[in-house]
Amino acid sequence: MAPSMRALCVGAALSVASATTPQAMLQRMWASNDLSAHSEAKPVMPNSYKLRLCNAYAWSAPLEMRRVQEPKLVEYPLPYKECHDYSLPLSDGDELQFRAGDLNIGTFFVKGLPAAPAMLLLVPHRKNAQSMAVVFDSHMYTQGDYPQVALVDAFTGLKPTSLYLKEKEHREALRFNSVITLTPGDYEVSMANSTGASQVARLKALQKERYVVIRVGNAANATDKAYLEDMVVFPHSSSGANAKALGAFFAAVALFALAGLEL
């Protein structure tokens, strides 16, 4: 491997047995619609956290997120393949309820929040190609000056796909369901499947910024162009940003702050 592409460390674990890999770092959980078994929120004003919600739920209706506890909040519907950063009051035990149109698809249970407010990533997507049940991938970005990128595979289907990161003339293979830390600079993210089809996106990694790259789509809707395999990169690169390329990127172990309840 060229010096400019030297990896420092990789590690983590994925919580779903059917999708585990040694390098997996994103936490996956099933949703639950049963709210009766959970106690009421503590009568303490919760801290405000930045929640990055990315809709990878392959369905025509946008997702609506509701905070069940006080103060009750209902966010504007988020269309498929879009992400948005919210500032939310959150405490351990809080429930975030999700709807797609008139369909109540599930609830995410907040657990293990850090004492200091941080950015939390939440990616709802379908459990499999035939099911309407929702699964959540979650991650807590760590503190630090270097850009961090979460790589999430939310595609429902068995089609294999490779993910690459390129900086100048150097290209490195990446693993989905992991997190990498980069040095600031200009990069190219590409995704290629077994048929040779590929998607390419520019990533301008800025100091202290947090990014997410998501593979989306639903194999069961192969004839519907709206749900073909695709790649989402957020936030979008800013053409006016001026970041100096330092000529290296590093894989880093991430910590998790969210947990969910299996059905």
Question: What would the pLDDT profile of 181-230 be if each residue is shown by its tens digit?
Answer: 999 999 999 999 866 668 999 999 999 999 999 999 998 876 788 899 99
Q: Measuring CA to CA, how many Å separate 137 from each of 37, 42, 47, 71, 245?
A: 23, 26, 22, 25, 30
Cβ-proximal residues to 45 (8 Å cutoff; 6+ apart), any chain: 89
Average pLDDT, the chain: 77
pTM of the predicted model as reported, rounded to 2 decimal places = 0.75
% residues pLDDT > 70 (the chain): 71
For residue 252, the model assigns a pLDDT of 36
Gap between the Cα atoms of 50 and 135, Å rounded: 21
For residue 204, the model assigns a pLDDT of 96
Task: Check residues 54 and 23 and name the one with the higher pLDDT.
Answer: 54
Mean pLDDT of 111-127: 91
For residue 241, the model assigns a pLDDT of 34
Asked if residue 135 has pLDDT above 80, the reply is: yes
For residue 195, the model assigns a pLDDT of 65
Type of residue numbered 6: R
| Number of neighbours of residue 239 by Cβ within 10 angstroms | 7
Asked if residue 88 has pLDDT above 80, the reply is: yes
* CB burial readout 140-152, b (16+ within 10 A) else e: bbbeeebbbbbbb
Asked if residue 18 has pLDDT above 80, the reply is: no
For residue 13, the model assigns a pLDDT of 30
Least confident stretch, 42-46, 69-73, 178-182: 42-46
Q: Tokens for 52, please give them.
A: 């990055």
Asked if residue 249 has pLDDT above 50, the reply is: no
- Residue 4 has phi, psi (to 5 degrees) of -75, -10
Q: Let me know: does 259 contact 32? Beta carbons within 8 Å.
A: no
Asked if residue 103 has pLDDT above 70, the reply is: yes
Asked if residue 83 has pLDDT above 90, the reply is: yes
Q: Residue 263: pLDDT band by 50, 70, 90 thresholds?
A: very low
